[in-house]
């Protein structure tokens, strides 16, 4: 009987995501034995410093990738938005499973929209992308860094000493964790774009392990892969990593791919938005084309402010 070992971060959300992949594999291959190995990552161990200050690329993935190379695990499950664009040496993204909701969620007990917050209210986020889009909508608001898992962030929101009026979270994470909060409101993706790859799970394996790859490929969702390929090609075309103030969202309809993307300066004073469409099989080309359009409009200067 074949046994596979999944590598997962220790957070509750990461474990739920790994169990989702485990269940999908067992549904497809009932004779498999699948174990989950919990691994600490740099991003989990340092929960105090702002993410951009401690690195960006690979903060939640490097240790999992090393365990793959050492054959301690057979596959790793990542939130795709945390995974650097370039494949790590010897590794590959074997499958990208069907995507969860992609929106960001506005969580607050004092307002139901960013636009309705009181003058000078404090919004908690550790994402430059979210901060820039908030400030583009409401330059009077104050951004305050916030770290920790979803439970921790919700507790911080309710702690009057910390002074948060609102926080921003990913809808996919809240749904996977089973939260149904009457004070959590998805933000319209027409005006507030998610991170490239947000809501998607990546299953990473070794490039020289065709036996495991044969089991994992059943997980791959073609429409999701095309959408996130376009989004990540846009990010890659800007020469950036997952911590930059860059948003992108692609959708697929009847084989046609639609991509909307944005680049902002960290203070939200200037936002460059682009959009385009192509056939699904030209997803990477579309992302790169829109990145070039942004660069032509001065995006490089925004990313280095």
| Pair 146, 164: CB distance under 8 Å | yes
Per the domain annotation, does 195 fall within a domain?
no
Pairing between β-strand 201-206 and β-strand 75-79 as defined by DSSP bridges: antiparallel
The domain of 261 spans 221-305
Q: Is residue 21 part of a domain?
A: yes
- Considering the domain architecture, whether residues 90 and 14 belong to the same structural domain is answered as yes
82 and 214 fall within a common domain: yes
Same domain, 229 and 92: no
SS (H, E, C) 94-145: EEECCCCCCCEEEECCCCCCHHHCCCCCEEECCCHHHHHHHHHHCCCCEEEC
Q: What are phi and psi of 4, to 5 degrees?
A: -120, 145
Say if residue 233 is in the same domain as residue 250.
yes
Same-domain status, 86 and 211: yes
Three-state DSSP state, 37: strand
Q: Within a domain: residue 140?
A: yes
- Number of domains observed in the structure of the chain: 3
Which residues are marked as active site? 82
CATH of the domain at 164: 3.40.190.10
Question: Does one domain contain both 171 and 182?
Answer: yes
Please report, in tens digits, the pLDDT of each residue of the chain (305 residues total). Answer: 799 999 999 999 999 999 999 999 999 999 999 999 999 876 554 455 554 544 555 667 899 999 999 999 999 999 999 888 888 899 999 999 999 999 999 999 999 999 999 999 999 999 999 999 999 999 999 999 998 889 999 999 999 999 999 999 999 999 999 999 999 999 999 889 999 999 999 999 999 999 999 999 999 999 999 999 999 999 999 986 656 899 999 999 998 999 999 999 999 999 999 999 999 999 999 999 999 999 999 998 887 76
Position 23 in a domain:
yes
- Cα 60 off chain centre by: 11
């Amino acid at each position: 009987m074949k046994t596979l070992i999944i590598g997962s971060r220790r957070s509750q959300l990461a474990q739920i995501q790994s169990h989702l992949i485990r269940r999908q594999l067992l549904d497809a291959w009932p004779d498999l034995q699948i174990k989950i190995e919990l691994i600490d990552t740099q991003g989990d161990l340092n929960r105090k410093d702002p993410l951009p200050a401690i690195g960006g690329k690979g903060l939640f993935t490097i240790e999992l990738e090393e365990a793959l190379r050492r054959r301690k695990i057979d596959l790793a499950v990542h939130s795709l938005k945390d995974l650097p664009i370039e494949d790590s040496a010897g590794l590959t993204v074997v499958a990208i499973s069907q995507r969860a909701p992609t929106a960001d969620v506005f969580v607050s007990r004092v307002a139901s929209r960013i636009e309705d917050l009181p003058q000078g209210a404090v919004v908690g986020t550790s994402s430059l992308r979210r901060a820039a889009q908030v400030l583009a909508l409401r330059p009077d608001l104050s951004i305050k860094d916030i770290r920790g898992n979803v439970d921790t962030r919700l507790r911080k929101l309710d702690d009057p000493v910390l002074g948060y009026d609102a926080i921003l979270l990913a809808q996919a994470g809240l749904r996977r964790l089973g939260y149904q909060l009457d004070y959590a409101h998805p933000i319209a993706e027409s005006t507030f774009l998610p991170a490239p790859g947000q809501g998607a799970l990546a299953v990473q394996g070794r490039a020289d392990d065709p036996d495991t790859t044969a089991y994992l490929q059943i997980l791959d969702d073609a429409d999701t892969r095309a959408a996130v390929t376009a989004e990540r090609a846009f990010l890659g075309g800007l020469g950036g990593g997952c911590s930059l103030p860059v948003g992108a969202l692609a959708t697929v309809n009847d084989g046609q791919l639609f991509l909307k993307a944005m680049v902002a300066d960290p203070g939200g004073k200037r936002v460059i938005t682009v959009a385009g469409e192509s056939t699904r099989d030209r997803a990477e080309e579309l992302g790169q084309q829109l990145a070039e359009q942004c660069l032509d409009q001065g995006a490089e200067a925004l990313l280095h402010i």
